[in-house]
Amino acid sequence: MKKNLAMVLAAIMLLCVAIPAFAGNEEKPVIWFNRQPSNSTTGELDMDALTFNDKTYYVGFDAKQGAELQGKMIVDYLLAHGEGLDRNGDGIIGYVLCIGDVGHNDSIARTRGARKALGTAIPDALQGKTEIATIDDVDSQPIGTNPDGSADHVKDGSIEIDGKTYIVRELASQEMKNSSGATWDAPTAGNAIIAWEGSFGDQIDVVVSNNDGMGMAVFNAWAKEKGVPTFGYDANSDAVAAIADGYCGTISQNADVQAYLTLRTLRNTLDGADIMVGISTPDAAGNVLSDDLYYYDEATRCFYALNGAVTADNYEAFLDATAANPAFSNQLSEADGAIKKVWLSIYNSADNFLNATYVPQLKNYAAALNLDVEYVLGDGQTEANLIDRLGNPSEYDGFAINMVKTDNAASYMVKLMQ
């Protein structure tokens, strides 16, 4: 009996020693960014992931505001450039649409925003919608091709330009997914436009893309030479530069603000500081965001950057998408923020926006905020590829996670709870 008791006690002691080595990871800061934990079919937020612990937040941008802005930018352009727009003179403004990822909230919003603005939107039957009050009600499914206007998921719209009424038709749309499953795939878009040209030729008057990666692939492969107006999203440096060569416009989702917020929320949670330090109120180094740049939704613990249109009118100010913003890149002293180690994933090493714009911005602010960040780049297809490389979470003070699929937050949470 005594011996048994001694063994139990020894076992308990062992456990007590063993537990702290593992435990604790589930209490560390977890910042989801760019891919919002959510159901990829319904868009519903994954509140378990967003409230994983009291140091968990999401940082993204306002997808709806940006999508409406992209739609408006396109329509404003059409209204101002009626002459020569209808390339074959058939009275139809035909456009093609490059869709990024049918299960990604950002992509869905942009498809909806473009369709609503262009008058081609129908209510989203999958969501049980029968009318369109806001872009959230719009059907966002790809149509394949639509030579005669009879496709499901869209209808023909109309627009009056300089006193003449044109039909607006979505001639084709497709999710740009490559053969191994990576979405938002620029090379796939470059190939698609060649196929669409084969089917539609000079019926294609406008190119709309859910992002600049795909938009620029189409521009370089085809639209630049043909002089066909092309619109993207992200304001990557190469796309902004191309405005000088005829790329018509893009939307800045303020990657600088988002990269800063991703690291700032880590800094604050690591320091046990108020979450709004350096955000709504200046930190010790004077870093602060002006409130026209972002908003915070406390109920869902989500920070959203706001978007701005970048067109021929203002693009010069956006040429360097990787420049640090002087208002929030002041160096924090180590006394005000000790160096901490962060594990940070990027879902796809080939994603244009994340690698060309977001990561360089993260590097700016990581240095200023004394965060030692390990960047782990995924293949865009397999979540395990990222998670398996989080071999020992105990080595890190916090985590910033960009998932392959927005449904997959639980896999990361399990890893941190092991």
DSSP code for 316: G
Q: At its nearest, how many Å lie between Ca ion and the CB of residue 205?
A: 5
H-helix segments, 219-358: 224-226, 237-242, 255-271, 352
Q: How far apart are the first and last CA of the chain?
A: 33
* 62 near ligand BGC, rule: CB under 6 A: no
Residue 303, beta-bridge partner list: 59, 296
Binding partner selected for residue 213 from ligand BGC, Ca ion, none, CB under the kind-specific 5 to 8 Å limit: ligand BGC
Nearer to ligand BGC, 161 or 350 (CB): 350
Question: Quick check: 211 binds ligand BGC (CB under 6 A)?
Answer: yes
Least Å distance, CB 212 to ligand BGC, is 7
Q: Is 234 in the site for ligand BGC (CB under 6 A)?
A: yes
351 binds ligand BGC (CB under 6 A): yes
Residue 34: which of Ca ion, ligand BGC, none does it interact with, CB under 5 to 8 A by kind? ligand BGC
- Residue 122: count of CB within 10 angstroms of its CB: 17
**Residue 86 binds Ca ion, judged by CB under 5 A:** yes
Residues 363-392 that bind ligand BGC (CB under 6 A): none
- Is there binding between residue 35 and ligand BGC (CB under 6 A)? yes
Binding site partner of 86, from ligand BGC, Ca ion, none, Cβ cut-off 5-8 A by kind: Ca ion
Which of residues 70 and 287 has its CB atom nearest to ligand BGC in the complex?
70
H-state helical runs in 328-368: 352, 359-368
Q: Is the distance from CB of 95 to CB of 71 less than 8 angstroms?
A: no
Please report whether residue 213 would count as binding ligand BGC according to CB under 6 A.
yes
Residue of 209, 207, 230 whose CA lies nearest to 96: 207
- Contact window for ligand BGC (CB under 6 A) among 36-44, 116-124, 136-144, 350-358: 350-358
Binding residue for ligand BGC, selected from 68, 106, 175, 397, defined by CB under 6 A? 106
User: If binding is defined by CB under 5 A, does position 171 make contact with Ca ion?
Assistant: no
- Tell which one of 26, 76, 90, 379 touches Ca ion (CB under 5 A): 90
CA distances from 121 to 79, 127, 143, 229 (A): 19, 14, 12, 21
Residue ranges in 280-309 that form contacts with ligand BGC under rule CB under 6 A? none
Q: How far is the CB of 59 from ligand BGC (least distance, A)?
A: 12
Q: How far is the CB of 217 from Ca ion (least distance, A)?
A: 23
Q: Which of residues 166-185 bind ligand BGC (CB under 6 A)?
A: 184
Residue 187 Cα distances to 184, 220, 350, angstroms: 9, 11, 11
Closest CA to 301 of 39, 41, 48: 48
The candidate with the shortest Cα–Cα distance to 200, out of 146, 152, 121, 141, is 146
Query: Does 86 help bind ligand BGC (rule: CB under 6 A)?
Result: no
Query: Which two tokens mark 295?
Result: 């908003």
Cα separation, 399 vs 154, whole angstroms = 41
Instruction: Choose from Ca ion, ligand BGC, none: what does 229 bind? Cβ within 5-8 Å by kind.
Output: none
- Find the binder of ligand BGC among 31, 32, 34, 293 (CB under 6 A): 34
The residue type at 223: A
β-pair type (308-311, 249-252): antiparallel
Please pick, from the candidates 95, 200, 328, 353, the single residue that binds ligand BGC as defined by CB under 6 A. Answer: 353
Residue (88 or 331) nearer to Ca ion, CB = 88
Helical residues (DSSP H) of 201-247, grouped into ranges: 212-218, 224-226, 237-242
Task: For residues 207 and 99, give the distance between their C-alpha atoms in angstroms, rounded to a whole number.
Answer: 11
Please work out the total of residues on this chain that contact Ca ion, with binding judged by CB under 5 A. 4
* Residues ≥6 apart with Cβ < 8 Å to 231: 70, 73, 74, 77, 206, 207, 208, 209, 215, 248, 249, 250
How many of the chain's residues bind ligand BGC (CB under 6 A)? 12
Amino acid identity for residue 327 in this structure? A
Residues forming the site for Ca ion (CB under 5 A): 86, 88, 90, 92
Interface residue list for ligand BGC (CB under 6 A): 34-35, 100, 106, 184, 211, 213, 233-234, 351, 353-354
